[in-house]
Amino acid sequence: MTCNDVRVKVLHYIKDKSLIESGERILVAVSGGPDSMLLMHILNGYKSELNISLVCCHVNHQLRDVASNRDELFVRNVCRQIGVPFVSKRINVSALSKEKHISIEDAARQLRLGALYDIAEERKCQKIGVGHTSDDTMETFILNILRGTGRKGLSGIHPKRGKFIHPLLCLKKREVLHYLKNHHIDYQIDVTNWRSDNRRNFIRRELVPLIEKKFNKRVKDNILQLIKIIIDEEDLLSTLTGKTLEGLQKERDEGIVFDRDSIKALHPAIQRRILIRSFEKLAGEMRLNFKEIEALRTAIISDCSGMVFPYHGIIFLIGANSILVRVESRKKEVREDIHACLSIPGSIRFQNRYLIKTTVLEQINGNIDSRDCVYYDLDLIQQPLIIRTRNNGDTFIPFGMHQKKKVKEFFIDAKVPFWERDEIPIIADEKGILWIAGLRRADSAKVRKDTERILKIEKRYIG
């Protein structure tokens, strides 16, 4: 492949993957190494054709003393020569590594990505260009397998994720080095890349060469081919999951609600993806691991209910018929008993979710089978009328029955999700419960032929 072919290949890749839009400002992450130097060179050469502007950003990890500062100065001077605005950011990798008890490699990645994102915001850059090649995505594939991953992790480095773009994924490392050599483009060498105590370096310098020598010389190409297959299949599964979610999830003030039987009926692969998506929608950058996902999935397809799974600030509540996913902090407050007098006639907003209205009639004027409307003989009611939430030990005689039933047992039999039971309005008089609003009225104060005044109570959900 000629040097011109390399440039054209990258340009076609940028357009094919829709990595850059006309008029955008691109923050190019440049370490001074070969990959990032090639990226800046190619993007700078295509500035007019792509109608873009560039800002070069160098993140100094301060891990190699003089060498780190030399790299920063090198990139600064190159930017001055080619007329690209330059900005640098110094990060304290060692301090974060010690503070969070994570590897230097992980600490560097966290701080570097954060620094790039912040600078992109400051400089009003729509995209952040990073110089990863196909060799890097192959190494990421192996690394993810070794530390445990799902199909998403096996798809390697994505061409575009959020603001980050990877225009060089179409190139192999040897193509990068060949281009730089023929164009006499200088770059810096990070000697720490020769040390095999770094996981990625070990894969690159020892594991892959060993596999090439002992098993298959084309292992890199085979892995890249597999990654392409996985990306296509991942795209299909992702689309299928999205379509499934459209008719499955209900977003409410308290969180995301699913019908449990609908989840049970799905293929396990789609079940996992729905759980992951609902979690990530609320949790942001946090991720569930396989054990956590399987614990959730196994609980959902079981016959048990009343289960609570708190993960990283998000809580899954599994009821008999439904599943609620919500931010855990929303329900940390201690429940307070809510009591209020209900005027006759009159109306009251209850818990900012329901409107309860009372009317006095001479005859029934609506559907007596409606779950949101009930009728009583007003003269058989011992006022005041109270609206409240359930109390411990509450009992009532359900309509059409003769024996008392505990409200707790009624909720269980009616398969009311346990997270909703403390919010359902209960209407009572001095004698006891008259109506568990929207669910069941009591057998007392029934309208008779000789009833003169009818009390109508309505419940309306107001969100």
Q: Could you report the per-residue pLDDT of 246-265, keeping only the tens digit for each?
A: 889 888 878 899 999 999 99
| Residue 196 tokens, joined | 């095999």
Residue 109 lies in a domain: yes
E strand map for 79-236:
86-90, 127-129, 160-161, 164-165
Q: Sign of the C-alpha dihedral, residues 235, 240, 246, 248?
A: negative
Statement: residue 298 has pLDDT above 90: yes
205 part of a folded domain: yes
pLDDT at 334 over 50: no
> Domain range for residue 412?
339-461
Tell me how far CA of residue 196 lies from CA of 94, 192, 247, 394, in angstroms: 19, 9, 50, 68
In the structure encoding, which two tokens stand for residue 317, read together? 């509540």
Q: How far apart are alpha carbons 351 and 340 in whole angstroms?
A: 11
Sign of the torsion angle spanned by Cα atoms 129, 132, 134, 140:
negative
Averaged pLDDT, 58-85: 90
pLDDT for 329 beyond 70:
no
Within 10 A of 316 (CB to CB), how many other CB atoms are there? 25
Total domain count, the chain: 3
Q: How much is the mean pLDDT over the chain?
A: 89
> What is the reported pLDDT for 463?
61
User: 349 and 295 share a domain?
Assistant: no
Name the pairing type of β-strands 53-60 and 25-29.
parallel
Which amino acid is present at 25? R
State yes or no: pLDDT of 412 exceeds 50: yes
Residue 267: strand, helix, or coil: coil
Residue 98 lies in a domain: yes
Least reliable range by pLDDT among 31-45, 57-71, 204-218? 57-71
* pLDDT of 168 above 90: yes
User: Both ends of the chain: CA-CA distance in Å?
Assistant: 63
Average pLDDT over residues 157-177: 93
Predicted pLDDT at 435: 95
24 and 124 housed in the same domain: yes
Return the CATH number at 409. 3.50.40.10
Mean pLDDT across 379-402: 92
Better-scored residue on pLDDT, 366 or 168: 168
Tell me the two tokens of residue 283.
């949790």
Residue 244 lies in a domain: no
Mean pLDDT across the stretch 339-368?
88
Residues 360 and 411 in one domain: yes
When pLDDT is averaged across residues 267-283 and rounded to a whole number, the result is: 93
Supply the pLDDT for residue 337. 54
Residues 18 and 155 in one domain: yes
Residue 333 has pLDDT above 50, yes or no: no
Please say if the pLDDT value at position 2 is more than 70. Answer: no
User: Is pLDDT above 90 for 155?
Assistant: no
Query: Looking at residues 83-90, what average pLDDT do you find?
Result: 94
Residue 65: pLDDT band with limits 50, 70, 90: confident
What whole-number distance in Å separates Cα of residue 215 and Cα of residue 209?
A: 10
Give residue 174's pLDDT.
93
Share of the chain above pLDDT 90, in %: 62
Is pTM beyond 0.75 here?
Answer: no
Same domain, 102 and 150: yes
Q: Specify the pLDDT at position 432.
A: 94
- Tell me, yes or no, whether 103 lies in a domain: yes
Stretch 323-348: mean pLDDT, rounded?
Answer: 75
Shared domain check, 210 and 290: no
Which CB contacts under 8 angstroms, 24+ apart, belong to 72-78? Answer: 72/32, 74/32, 74/186, 74/188, 75/30, 75/31, 75/32, 78/37, 78/40, 78/186
Element (H, E) at 350: strand 346-350
Residue 219 lies in a domain: yes
Distance between CA 172 and CA 116 in Å, rounded?
A: 25
Q: What is the pLDDT of residue 147?
A: 82
Q: Tokens at residue 316, please? A: 């899954």
Residues 194 and 267 in one domain: no
Residue 271 domain flag: yes
Confidence of residue 123 (pLDDT cuts 50, 70, 90): very high
DSSP string, 249-311: EEEETTEEEEEHHHHHTS-HHHHHHHHHHHHHHHHTT----HHHHHHHHHHHHSS--SEEEEE
Host H or E run for residue 387:
strand 385-388
Assess whether 195 and 315 both reside in one domain: no
Confidence of residue 4 (pLDDT cuts 50, 70, 90): low
Question: Is there a single domain that holds both residue 188 and residue 84?
Answer: yes
- Range picked from 62-66, 153-157, 207-211 for highest mean pLDDT: 207-211
* Secondary structure class of 370 (helix, strand, coil): coil
Residues 76/58, Cβ–Cβ less than 8 Å: yes
Higher pLDDT, 93 or 11: 11
Is residue 80 domain-shared with residue 106, that is, in the same domain?
yes
